[in-house]
Amino acid sequence: MQLIVTAINKAYSSVQAVKNASFHINSGEIFALLGPNGAGKSSIIRMLVGMTKPDSGSIMISYQDQHYDHVPRRLLGYLPEDRGLYPDKSIEKNLLYLAQLHGLSKSKALSEMDYWLDVFELTQRRHDELKQLSKGNQQKVQLIAAVLHQPALVILDEPFSGLDPINQEKVVLFLQQLKAKGMTVILSAHQMAMVEKLADHMLLMAQGQVVLAGTLQQIQQQSQNQRQMKVGFSSEVNAAQLEQLAAVVTVQQLQARHYLLTLAEQASVSDCLKQLLQYGELTQVEMQSADLHQLYLAAMARHKPEAAA
């Protein structure tokens, strides 16, 4: 399977939800769509699913020498952002219904269900009504519903939302299993630490636009001019004041008098140090490469003034 998205645009009334977004996804990889609320992730997902069509640009999905302009239902496993199942029905009845709609026989559906319920430690609760489950367990049932029929492509809109850290780790393992089974996964998320562990490729979006794209390494390379500097001051300094410096894009306070600064692309280290010395004596200066979370924050910070302008 290959998915190629070329320069798609989508507007709802006066809101431009997606602006000129392009990317491609290869078979068997995990692809992450990242961005704050309203960045356009769900709009892209809804276009991939075929619920809406792009105003311009194209989506091409190739599978076994066939080409489609959205993911065919038979290939798709989907966890929507707006999700829910039948609260008055048991886990088993909910899953069996959806699996049979996907075309699975009852016996096949039950055997797949056994496997995934075991993975998520829900076997003992299979006859419980959904409304009796915690939000986290309901989310797990939704995840099972998306993959029960072994789709070629799984699209998960915010799969980590509403889960505690332990269950987030379980979802990471779940996604790794999907990849091991040869499924292609597209997910949207805010949880950078999770995405960093999982995603082969990622797309960072802000206000409908792609701001960074590629593998983690590629993104780090793209952002190599945005060096990060860990600095310590001998006395207290106001973080807001540091943020005003021309050489600084973002400021993150690490501990008392210690900050992590993302430097502006054009700024030199010496310029930055000169500016920092205005606020006091430096006790620590250390350069380091940014992790995804920091790159994401830096990209968002860079994007905001553009949008405001």
Partner 1 sequence: MISRQSLIVARWEFLRFFKWKQQLVSYLLMLAVIAAIALWSFFTDESQQQYRIAVPAELQITNTEQFQFQRPGIALETQLMQMQSDDSWHAVISLQDGQLVVHTLTGKKWLQQLDEVLQKHYRHLAAQQMGLNTTQLAALEQPVEIETRYLDQSYKGKDTPEKIIAIGALILLFVGLSTAFGQVLVSITGEKQQRVTEQLYAIVTPQQWMDGKVLGHSFSALKAMLTSALVMLLSFAVVSVFTKKAVDLSWLDISVVLWLIPFALLGVVLCASFMGAIAASIDDPNNSGKSAVMMITWLPMVFTFIVIDSPAGIGMTILSFVPLTSFAAMPVKMAMVTVPWWQPLLSLLLLLATVYWMRRVAGRVFLRGMQMYGKEPSWGDIVR
By CB under 8 A, name the binding residues for partner 1: 46, 49, 51-52, 73, 76-80, 82-87, 97-98, 100-103, 142, 145
Between 21 and 99, whose beta carbon lies closer to partner 1? 99
Between 85 and 273, whose beta carbon lies closer to partner 1? 85
Q: How far is the CB of 67 from partner 1 (least distance, A)?
A: 20
Q: How far is the CB of 265 from partner 1 (least distance, A)?
A: 38
Between 72 and 232, whose beta carbon lies closer to partner 1? 72
Q: How far is the CB of 93 from partner 1 (least distance, A)?
A: 9
Phi/psi of residue 77, nearest 5 degrees:
-115, 130
Q: Do 247 and 272 touch, CB atoms closer than 8 A? A: yes
Between 76 and 163, whose beta carbon lies closer to partner 1? 76
Decide the pairing of beta strands 258-263 and 228-233: antiparallel
Q: How far is the CB of 41 from partner 1 (least distance, A)?
A: 15
The structure tokens 């692309």 sit at 265
Q: How far is the CB of 45 from partner 1 (least distance, A)?
A: 10
Q: What secondary structure letter does DSSP report for 125?
A: G
Between 145 and 248, whose beta carbon lies closer to partner 1? 145
